[in-house]
Amino acid sequence: MKIHKEGKIIIPAAFISITLMYLGLTWLISLPLFSWGLGIVAVTFWSLVISFFRVPKLNSPTGDDLVIAPAEGKIVVIEQTHEGEYLNEERIQISIFMSPLNVHVNRAPVGGKISYYKYHPGKYLVAWHPKSSSQNERTSIGFETPSGTTLLMRQIAGAVARRIAFYKKVSDNVRAADEVGFIRFGSRVDVFLPLNAEIKVKIGDMTVGGETILAHLKD
């Protein structure tokens, strides 16, 4: 396991944790309950920061017809909707909610070319709010597979998230499960699939970014 490049907060987080432990072992040593409590808070805080910015090793499936989960989290939406920004047609929307406990690396759901990108400033509604997909701060990324199928992925900020990073640009080629971005502190990723895609997940399922198969594409 390695730590993501966005994890610059790790150094100040380590300082805060060490300070809390020092205070617990010195100023509060005569109050064991408070001393132990402060130590537990320090260790928990440090563990959460490390967990959030971790980049685990992947065992990604292969196949040109596969749509891979772009994020780790919980499936909260599977529904037919009209995607009017880029695709301009009816699509199946799959939404993955990422809690602060999940890995927040975002990955390409398919291999191919980045065909569209746009950043949208916006609100910070909770990520599971129905309007967060269209009203929150977000980025929209289009993918075109070698066979000509187009997909749209949205990185959506949540109530706490204040940084959406996307590392690619239009015309870049990517492989399925390649790292393409990152969102800090609780957020959501939407994927818009063709109506004839064979969906392999259901609401409530937990996904592993870069590993879980969301769907099979059909010609």
pLDDT in tens, 148-206: 999 999 998 865 555 788 999 999 999 999 999 988 766 889 999 999 999 999 999 99
| Span of 16-25, 93-102, 143-152, 202-211 with lowest mean pLDDT | 16-25
Question: Model pTM?
Answer: 0.79
Residue 61 lies in a domain: no
How far is CA 33 from each of CA 21, 22, 70, rounded to the nearest angstrom? 13, 15, 43
Mean pLDDT of 35-46: 66
Do 33 and 135 lie in one domain? The reply is no
Query: What backbone phi and psi angles, to 5 degrees, belong to 33?
Result: -60, -45
Residue 187 known to be catalytic: yes
Do 28 and 126 lie in one domain? The reply is no
Helices (H), the chain: 10-25, 32-52, 132-135
Residue 188 lies in a domain: yes
Domain coverage including residue 141: 66-216
Do 115 and 179 lie in one domain? The reply is yes
Spot the catalytic one: 17, 95, 140, 187. Answer: 187
pLDDT in tens, 65-117: 999 999 999 999 999 999 999 999 999 999 999 887 788 889 999 999 999 99
Would you mind telling me the total number of residues written for the chain in this entry? 219
